[in-house]
A = this chain, B = another copy of it.
């Protein structure tokens, strides 16, 4: 059986998930939706991906441009087993009624509240929870990044305080700023801590800042340990954690720029870095506290999670089989 997958909302996340789905031998990409015939729509068509209008209201725009669509979202919903909703923040919750009506399973993204789904999902942390479920939320890029490394340390964690330095806009967004400022989330602790807790039950508080960069988020993490752990232990744990990679400043990884350059040097599609990047030199234990710094490629770290979520929802594979399959298909290094 190949699960029939549709993608509603073909933007930063949607187009990457569509690509990843098309690389799986147990899934089939049935179509994607667009609200307008921009270059992304044309490219999808050129690649023989059926393009549906995201709703009836968008049909005129396509017609005016002479762009033939394969139908509307409702038509797509009739053809799929599961829809990956990657529409803008908050829109997924509104779309849910449509999916229920059509009787298709649905995956939502991190811009939605946890309550939109039965489970908030990070494959390596709680794959089993999504087995057979109808509605799964793949958590945000930041939450996925925090969960990847913290779940690996979970038994040692007494308390976590993480400061997130967030990119202001994705690389293809030329509207959003700031150009020259730092914007704090003045509500401290920020909402990111509780979001991690929708996946793993750890004691965590966070604060968050937006800075004028497009490439990656960076997390400065401090863990109060409940049992002793050396720096070498932590490095060993991370080296044995899937979707986490260690980068050395000494080898030229001075900033997020060189980490992205590494993904470009690998010829990853869209320079995706599906893995969380931990600076090796930053791993430091001082008494009962562990510190480390990691970077998160916001555009892509959640992509393998969407693939695994589909497998779990249709019980196509058990946890590690799915993770390994996804990793292999996307060139994830480990």
A contacts, CB < 8 Å to B: 15, 37-40, 42-43, 161, 163, 165, 168-169, 171-184, 186-189, 205, 207, 209-216, 218, 220, 222, 249, 251-258, 260-262, 264-267, 269-271, 279, 281-282, 284, 286, 289, 291-293, 295
Contact = CB atoms under 8 A, between A and B. Distances in A.
B218 A182 contact: yes
A262 B39 contact: yes
How many monomers of this chain does the complex have?
4
A191 B171 CA distance: 29
Given A182-B165, A289-B205, A269 B270 contact: no
Given A180-B180, A189-B286, A295-B182, A43 B171 contact: no
Contacts of A186: 249, 279, 281-282, 293
A175 B172 contact: no
A39 B258 CA distance: 9
B182 A255 contact: yes
Given A171-B264, A175-B178, 7 more contacts: A163-B163, A177-B177, A184-B293, A205-B289, A211-B212, A212-B213, A271-B271
A105 to B, nearest CB: 28
